[in-house]
């Protein structure tokens, strides 16, 4: 486990039984979603990470979505549009998924963003987190 993940998250939000954990640094956001990715959780991700991203020239997002089986239909287009607007500030986006529907949404979104590294396991994602932190 990385030192970053060993500490308490900067945000631990639960909405309707689904949970989002965020660890934040000036150049990095690490997220973990457990359960359904609701619009409310997506807005919390945006709210807490956007100020850091805007101040950075090489921001990194590392997202563990392996325990997310579903999402609100408005989440992918919302996050895609938001990310496109911030691309000049973003160096790297890594998303690990475990469920086919979520994997398909990430791959489809990447057709536009062209900057998402998609991983198929939490173990591969943890290796990336260890190297990045």
Backbone angles phi, psi at 88, to 5 degrees: -60, -20
- For the chain, helix, strand, coil in percent to 5 are 45, 30, 20
The conformation of residue 120, written as its DSSP 8-state character, comes to S
Task: Work out the angle between the directed axes of helices 75-86 and 100-113 (0-180°, nearest 10).
Answer: 30
| pLDDT for res 71 | 98
Q: What is the mean pLDDT of the chain?
A: 97
Q: Is it the case that residue 2 has pLDDT exceeding 90?
A: no
| pLDDT for res 20 | 99
| pLDDT for res 1 | 65
Q: Which domain holds residue 111?
A: 3-132
Tally of domains in the chain: 1
| pLDDT for res 115 | 93
In 3D, which of 7, 17, 51 has the Cα closest to residue 37? 17
Mean pLDDT of 93-111: 97
What is the rounded distance in angstroms from the CA atom of residue 29 to the CA atom of residue 113? 18
pLDDT tens digits along 5-27: 999 999 999 999 999 999 999 99
What is the CATH number for 15?
3.30.750.24
pTM metric for this prediction: 0.95
Q: Is it the case that residue 95 has pLDDT exceeding 80?
A: yes
| pLDDT for res 122 | 97
Strands of the 59-67 sheet, one edge to the other:
11-15, 18-25, 28-34, 59-67, 90-97, 116-119
Mean pLDDT of 44-72: 97
Q: Are 111 and 79 in contact (CB under 8 A)?
A: no
Give the SS3 label for residue 32. strand
Mean pLDDT of 79-99: 97
Q: Is it the case that residue 74 has pLDDT exceeding 80?
A: yes
């Amino acid at each position: 486990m990385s030192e970053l993940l060993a500490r308490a998250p900067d945000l631990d939000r639960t909405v309707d039984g689904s949970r989002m954990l965020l660890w934040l640094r000036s150049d990095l956001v690490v997220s973990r979603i457990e359960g359904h990715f609701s619009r409310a959780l997506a807005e919390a991700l945006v709210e807490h990470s956007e100020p850091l991203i805007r101040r950075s020239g090489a921001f990194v997002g590392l997202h563990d979505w392996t325990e997310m089986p579903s999402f609100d239909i408005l989440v992918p287009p919302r996050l895609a549009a938001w990310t496109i607007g911030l691309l000049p500030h973003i160096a790297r986006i890594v998303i690990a998924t475990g469920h086919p529907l979520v994997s398909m949404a990430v791959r489809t979104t990447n057709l536009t963003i062209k900057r998402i590294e998609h991983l198929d396991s939490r173990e591969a994602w943890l290796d990336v987190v260890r190297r990045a932190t």
